[in-house]
Amino acid sequence: MIQKYLLLQILILYIFTSAIKGQRVDPYHKDSEGFGYLVAATSDYAIWWAEGAYKIMRDAPQPSSLSEKVSLWAAGNEYEPFQIVINPVNRIEDVRISTSDLTGENGIIQADNITLRKVEYVNVTKPTDSYGYAAWWPDPLPPVDGPVTAYGEENSVFWLTAYIPAGTYPGCYKGNITISTAGWNETIPIELNVWDFDLPVSPSIRSGFGLSVDKIIDYHNLSTKDQILKTFDLYMQAFRDYKISPYSFYALHPIKEDISGICWDGGFYDSNIKFAGNYSLRIEDDDPVSAIHANYLKKIEISGDKSYSLKWNVRAKDIDQKYCIEAVSYNAENEVIIFDNKLDDFTCDTVWEKGRFNLGKFGNDVMKISLRLYPSFRTATGENTGTVWFDNLVLYEDGKVTDKISQGNFEVSVDEIEINLDFTDFDYAASRYIDQFGFNAFRLDLKGMGGGTYYSRTEGRFAGFAQGGAEYDKLMSQYLSQIENHLKEKNWLGKEYIYWFDEPGQSDYPFVREGMEQIKRSAPQITTFLTENDPGPGIMDVTDITCTIWHRIDPKKAAKIVEGGQEYWSYLCTAPKAPWVSEFIDHDAINLRIWLWMSYAYRLNGILIWSSNYWTSRAASPPGYLQNPWDEPASFVQGYGWPLGKQTVWGNGDGRFWYPPNRDPNTDKTTYIEGPVPSIRIEFLRQGIEDFEYFRILEDLVTQIDGTKDHNKILKQTRDLLEIPKDIFTDGKTYTKDPGRLYEYRRKLAKAITELNNIIKK
């Protein structure tokens, strides 16, 4: 029962808010009117609830609105979140929250369909922009596994999410939430109103979210294949539950290639610069952090009682280029013998000359060797670079020429190269994650494709043949046609997208066009994808999906592209900043949800975010140090020529929608076989995806009964609903900050869906 004390508090709050009426008050400020509905207040504590659409700060005031029960509306196969807030005068230990089953006239929603998480806060000290500000912002949502402590004069916020199974009978389901400690307990009634329709298993809007397996391994302290597979699958379950698709569900289950007819991996077969024959092997090391090299793919059998040497012809791009050759030793079990390798450095010039490496005798345990060719002086960090051509590489045994190095002259016939693809592992993953989980999109990584960004690019290479040549075209065609045919056979064709180049500038268009045309020549039905900030005729004719950063979208141009049969996606990343819709921790709660409303209005087909677990930056963090996202919410720049140690903020939470369960990754070496901890922002995103379904379901129903004279009035009203009013949003930077407006409108959509469903059933 609401106490007299509560009424007095409300009166004081009303007088205070009236005094500041007319002033612009930050909705997250402690002096603003609180979000939600007060349900209990005593001299010791206040308790209220709010929809799961707000960011409730630690010092947010209690709301003036009153409600003695939690009231929710949702469809089948929908997740509907809400928040319970406890604000005690003094610290309270052992606070427990429990929920009962929700019972309706025709069924029960079990209590285990309601998850309980704690809203935790990250300390923003480097605001994303002038719109954000330094404060403790809500973001991580770790599960609550037992009693918790509520601190005095501070909001303790709990995030509860009710899942309504598909097929749940429509109606009102009632139950209770109990908050208890050793000294008191409060019971809050809950009413969940279930609509008479279900949301689809596979979302209507496609999505692509990056996920780094390496970061999962590092932060979860995984060391075995089994640990990695189990943890990865838990991440895939989280993606499914939040109704988004990862870039690669098959990162641990790749398509395997068996390429016969070629003996070297690495480098390019160069027909322009060669010592003899048709080709030499050109090896380029332009990476200051890697020791790029070429591998001889076969192991060469040797005898311990014989002496060996190598001879070759060589030239370099630059004068006095240092390069290295290594012979790696193996025992009878094909295990590397670490301290029995032979490596030496040499120097060459810009004209062809002879090289010689006296390997001598190997140890008695050495049964085989393999060869590696490095175009620069090899170091642990790989800082040296250079380009070297090799030709006529021959192995001598006791001074006599051997034939133990196949293709040592680098003469290769493309007609003799055969590519066989093994889809066994990929099919296992696709069956689970596409067919069962409902993932509706995946990034198809292709062997041999080049890539790059507006900053830099890499040419394609397949089996040593460079992009642009007839040999490359022939091999890519053989390779791509197998992939296309297999995807088609399995009914997965069309869910893939080849995202191989990012944000090209005008100067990149010829290169991008060449790559796109290569794909279309070889596999015309495979989907090409490009992030482009100014989509137009310059490249769109060879691009199936264009994806534009949010603040560069022209809605009219987007609609025209979609009407023409192509897909149009949008993405958020380090930009845009305020006042645009954004993904940042220290921006408005409504942003990620209303992104989907705008996507529907603009007729967009998909959403993309470059990473979901960008927990550390190689440039900003010292070598070997893992940034702790629980302590440092800023996402720092890396790549694009950024030097080690330069710490520039992309934005708080950029590329980071999950948190690792390990809260101290540099000292806690526990192995975590767990899924990720979600953020409050990915909860908002899921709500937007579900709202998007309401629009799509209603639109489909209108199509089914369109033209029926008896229903002209309801059809007009429904079509009007599908046009989102301008008081919700005008454009991508002018929109309501009040999630309550979205709830109100969504209920109208649901009622219209119900009405049209009833018409169709009759």
Residues 529/535/540/545 CA torsion (nearest 10 deg) = 30
Which residues are CB-contacts of 144 (< 8 A; sequence separation ≥ 6)?
A: 97, 116, 117, 118, 158
Q: For strand 185-198 and strand 70-76, is the pairing parallel, antiparallel, or unpaired? A: parallel
Closest CA to 211 of 243, 256, 245, 255: 245
Under a CB-based contact definition with an 8 Å cutoff, are residues 338 and 407 in contact? no
Cα angle: 555, vertex 560, 566; to 5 degrees = 110
* Cα distances (Å, whole numbers) of residue 138 to 28, 29, 497, 652, 746: 11, 13, 34, 12, 25
Q: For residue 172, what pLDDT band results from cuts at 50, 70 and 90?
A: very high
Which residue in this structure is represented by tokens 């005095």? 152
Helix axes 225-241, 213-220, angle to 10 degrees: 110
Residue with the larger pLDDT of the pair 707 and 587? 587
Residue 579, classified by CB atoms within 10 Å of its CB into exposed (0-12), middle (13-18) or buried (19+), is middle
Kindly report the number of other CB atoms within 10 A of residue 147's CB atom: 13
Per-residue pLDDT averaged across 376-402, rounded?
96
For position 762, what pLDDT does the model report?
75
Highest average pLDDT, of 62-66, 506-510, 680-684, comes from: 680-684
Kindly report the number of other CB atoms within 10 A of residue 257's CB atom: 14
For position 390, what pLDDT does the model report?
98
Distance CA 454, CA 509 (A): 10
User: Left, alpha or beta for 97 (phi > 0: left; psi -120 to 50: alpha)?
Assistant: beta
Which residue in this structure is represented by tokens 């939040």? 242
Under a CB-based contact definition with an 8 Å cutoff, are residues 616 and 627 in contact? yes
Under a CB-based contact definition with an 8 Å cutoff, are residues 624 and 225 in contact? no
Residue 39 predicted with pLDDT over 80: yes
Q: Which helix (H) or strand (E) holds 650?
A: strand 649-652
Distance CA 116, CA 148 (A): 12
For position 35, what pLDDT does the model report?
87
Under a CB-based contact definition with an 8 Å cutoff, are residues 62 and 32 in contact? no
- The total number of residues written for the chain in this structure: 762
Residue 25 predicted with pLDDT over 60: no
Distance CA 313, CA 264 (A): 17
Closest CA to 701 of 691, 710, 688, 714: 714
Cα angle: 290, vertex 292, 297; to 5 degrees = 135
Cα angle: 186, vertex 192, 196; to 5 degrees = 175
Which residue type is seen at 497?
Y
Q: What is the pLDDT of residues 501-510, one digit of tens each?
A: 999 988 888 9
Closest CA to 371 of 329, 322, 413, 336: 329
Q: What is the pLDDT of residues 490-539, one digit of tens each?
A: 999 999 999 999 999 888 889 999 999 999 999 999 999 999 877 666 67
Closest CA to 265 of 462, 88, 455: 462
Which residues are CB-contacts of 217 (< 8 A; sequence separation ≥ 6)?
A: 228
Lookup: tokens for 396? 């001598």
Lowest mean per-residue pLDDT among 174-178, 193-197, 609-613, 646-650: 646-650
Percent of the chain with pLDDT over 70: 95
For position 203, what pLDDT does the model report?
98
Residue 18 predicted with pLDDT over 70: no
Residue 402, classified by CB atoms within 10 Å of its CB into exposed (0-12), middle (13-18) or buried (19+), is middle
Would you give the end-to-end CA distance of the chain in angstroms?
46
Mean pLDDT of the chain: 92
User: Left, alpha or beta for 429 (phi > 0: left; psi -120 to 50: alpha)?
Assistant: alpha
DSSP result, 213-231: HHHHHHHHT--SHHHHHHH
Residue 16 predicted with pLDDT over 50: no
Distance CA 197, CA 303 (A): 75
Q: What is the pLDDT of residues 443-499, one digit of tens each?
A: 999 999 988 887 788 888 999 999 989 999 999 999 999 999 999 999 999 999 999
Closest CA to 35 of 747, 559, 746, 740: 740
Residue 4 predicted with pLDDT over 80: no
**Which domains are assigned to the chain?**
4-198 (2.60.40.10), 263-411 (2.60.120.430), 692-761 (no CATH)
For position 505, what pLDDT does the model report?
85
Q: Which helix (H) or strand (E) holds 499?
A: strand 496-502
Which residue type is seen at 194?
V
Distance CA 61, CA 429 (A): 48
CA 421 to chain centroid:
26
Q: For residue 14, what pLDDT band results from cuts at 50, 70 and 90?
A: very low
Residue 5 predicted with pLDDT over 60: no
Closest CA to 653 of 594, 613, 685: 613
Which residues are CB-contacts of 536 (< 8 A; sequence separation ≥ 6)?
A: 557
Residue with the larger pLDDT of the pair 535 and 725? 725
Which residues are CB-contacts of 225 (< 8 A; sequence separation ≥ 6)?
A: none
Residue 12 predicted with pLDDT over 80: no
Q: What is the pLDDT of residues 738-748, one digit of tens each?
A: 999 999 999 99
Per-residue pLDDT averaged across 72-88, rounded?
98
Lookup: tokens for 88? 């005690």
Burial 505-532 (b: 16+ CB within 10 A, else e): eeebeebbbebbebbbebbeebbbbbbb
CA R_g for the chain? 31
Going through 245-287 in order, the beta strands assigned E by DSSP cover 256-260, 264-265, 268-270, 280-285
Which residue type is seen at 599?
S
Distance CA 123, CA 634 (A): 10
- Decide: helix, strand or coil at residue 131: coil
Q: What is the pLDDT of residues 394-429, one digit of tens each?
A: 999 999 999 999 999 999 999 999 999 999 999 999
Distance CA 483, CA 500 (A): 16
Which residue type is seen at 25?
V
* Cα distances (Å, whole numbers) of residue 64 to 85, 120, 156, 642, 747: 14, 24, 18, 49, 23
